[in-house]
Amino acid sequence: MRVFNFCAGPASMPQAVLSEAQKDLLSWQGKGMSVMEMSHRGHDFVSIAEQAEADLRSLLHIPAHYKVLFLQGGASQQFAQIPMNLLRGGDHADYVLTGMWSAKAAVEARKFTKVHVPASDEAYGFRTVPAFDTWNLSDKAAYLHYTPNETIHGVQFNYIPEVAAPLVADCSSCLLSEPMDVSKFGLIYAGAQKNIGPAGLVVVIVREDLLGQALPGIPTMLDYKVAADHASMYNTPPTFSWYLAGLVFRWLKNHGGLEAMATINRRKAKKLYGCIDQSGGFYQNPVSPSYRSIMNVPFTLMDPALEKTFLKDAEAEGLVNLAGHRSVGGLRASIYNAVPEEGVDTLVSFMQEFQRRMG
């Protein structure tokens, strides 16, 4: 039996995708072998890889002057790879801090360059996005980095900052959750294990003119230009993760694309925040309402001593992985594309019933 899995990552995958992968596991399309046993340079895998890229391009309407790279090392490796590639002779970059992931990205960037922080909510515990008209942007930043959706704190931007420097966005937990105007960005990256596919893959979408000016001495494997020139196959890519990401892209296309996803995701989030807000304080979410994430919903119980019982009773109902991140505690429901609306409905009913029993 399948459970409703609210894990922040690695996260739930669409069941239809898993079934398709299962059907093709021993013999992909009658070829007598699994995708994970194929040469990455062979015709079959190259066609899988190209189709995945084409489907992602069509889902996000990625303009032709952007490269799509399928890389390894997770989003955390991008924290280093971005300054190594995008400083382009500049002496600093801007980093907006709205949660733990943007803060970590800034710490890593400091190994390579000066970091200027135009805006930060750290002093207030990461509960909001500082208003854009309060940002103190630097002159001639090589780029501005921000995290549109903070997976741990559940803080999500509801606007795209308009800045002169190329915009770099860590979309690990929000890519494909709704339409996005790629042309406003210099670089977008996302670790796959949240809303794309299995761990081991990170997707980078980068404007072509930003490539080819990496720091001298950069390891070959970390140079975006090398990856772009080799269609992400300078070395052996994570073929099976790439294939599964491709199945997810096709599943999204078959389900109405990102407009349809956004409608469902907004409805799911509204139900869950509604349950929290209407609980009279039994459940609480600390984030300012206009910046609440539609993907990651952290919440606390009025009586934190009930958390263990909440998690145990939820699990007994097939609602799993609801503990908050170890750094902040509390509870969290990640409700990515692959978490069906029925999962959120079941969670909301459970939360209401739990409150009746314990409140």
Ligand X SMILES: *Cc1c(COP(=O)(O)O)cnc(C)c1O
Which of 75, 204, 258, 331 contacts ligand X by CB under 6 A?
A: 75
Q: Which residue has the tokens 């990515």?
A: 336
**What is the crossing angle of helices 43-60 and 239-254, to 10°?**
40
Cα(95)–Cα(98) distance, integer angstroms: 10
What radius of gyration do the chain's Cα atoms show? 21
In the bound complex, what is the minimum distance in angstroms from residue 173's beta carbon to ligand X? 4
Place of tokens 């021993």: 26
Q: Residue 145 forms beta bridges with which residues?
A: 95, 168
Of the candidates 4, 66, 70, 101, which one interacts with ligand X according to CB under 6 A?
Answer: 101
- As to burial, measured by CB atoms within 10 angstroms (0-12 exposed, 13-18 middle, 19+ buried), residue 190 is buried
* Closer of 29 and 159 to ligand X (Cβ): 159
Alpha carbon distance 46, 51 (integer Å): 8
> Is residue 145 a contact point for ligand X (CB under 6 A)?
no
Active-site hit among 170, 223, 242, 268? 170
**Terminal CA-to-CA distance of the chain, rounded, Å?**
31
Q: Catalytic residue at 194?
A: yes
Print the binding letters for residues 222-261 with ligand X: x by CB under 6 A, - otherwise: ----------------------------------------
Residue from 28, 55, 94, 101 carrying the catalytic annotation: 101
Cβ-Cβ contacts under 8 Å for 51 (sequence gap 6 or more)? 246, 250
Distance in angstroms (rounded) separating the CA atoms of residues 263 and 162: 25
CB 73, min distance to ligand X, A:
7
Q: Which one of 147, 156, 239, 285 is in contact with ligand X (CB under 6 A)?
A: 147
Nearer to ligand X, 73 or 212 (CB): 73
Closer by beta carbon to ligand X, 78 or else 239: 78
Q: Which residue has the tokens 């009913």?
A: 349
* Per CB under 6 A, 76 contacts ligand X: yes
Query: Two tokens at 71?
Result: 């890389």
Nearer to ligand X, 102 or 279 (CB): 102
Cβ nearer to ligand X, comparing 191 with 237? 191
Decide if residue 173 touches ligand X (CB under 6 A). Answer: yes
The stretch among 155-163, 168-176, 242-250, 350-358 that binds ligand X (CB under 6 A) is 168-176
Region 190-209 residues binding ligand X, contact defined as CB under 6 A: 191, 194
**Does 151 help bind ligand X (rule: CB under 6 A)?**
yes
Grouping H, G, I as helix, E, B as strand and the rest as coil, residue 211 is: coil
Q: Check residue 157 for interaction with ligand X (CB under 6 A).
A: no
Active site residue 101: yes
Which residue's beta carbon is nearest to the bound ligand X? 74
Q: Which is nearer to ligand X, 4 or 336 (CB)?
A: 336
* Number of other residues whose CB lies within 10 A of the CB of residue 22: 9
- SS3 assignment, position 199: coil
The beta strand positions in the chain, using DSSP E, are 4-5, 66-71, 92-95, 114-116, 144-146, 149-150, 155-156, 167-170, 187-191, 202-207, 283-284, 296-301, 319-320, 331-334
Q: Does 156 bind ligand X (CB under 6 A)?
A: no
- Could you say which of 28, 55, 121, 194 is catalytic? 194
Q: Is 332 in the site for ligand X (CB under 6 A)?
A: no
Number of residues that bind ligand X (CB under 6 A): 12
Question: In whole angstroms, how close is the CB of 105 to ligand X at the nearest point?
Answer: 7
To ligand X, the closest distance from the beta carbon of 186 in angstroms equals: 17
Residue 23: φ, ψ to 5° = -60, -35
Determine the Cα–Cα distance for residues 36 and 48; give it in Å rounded to an integer: 12
Residues forming the active site? 101, 170, 194
Question: Where does this chain bind ligand X (CB under 6 A)?
Answer: 9, 74-76, 101, 147, 151, 170, 172-173, 191, 194
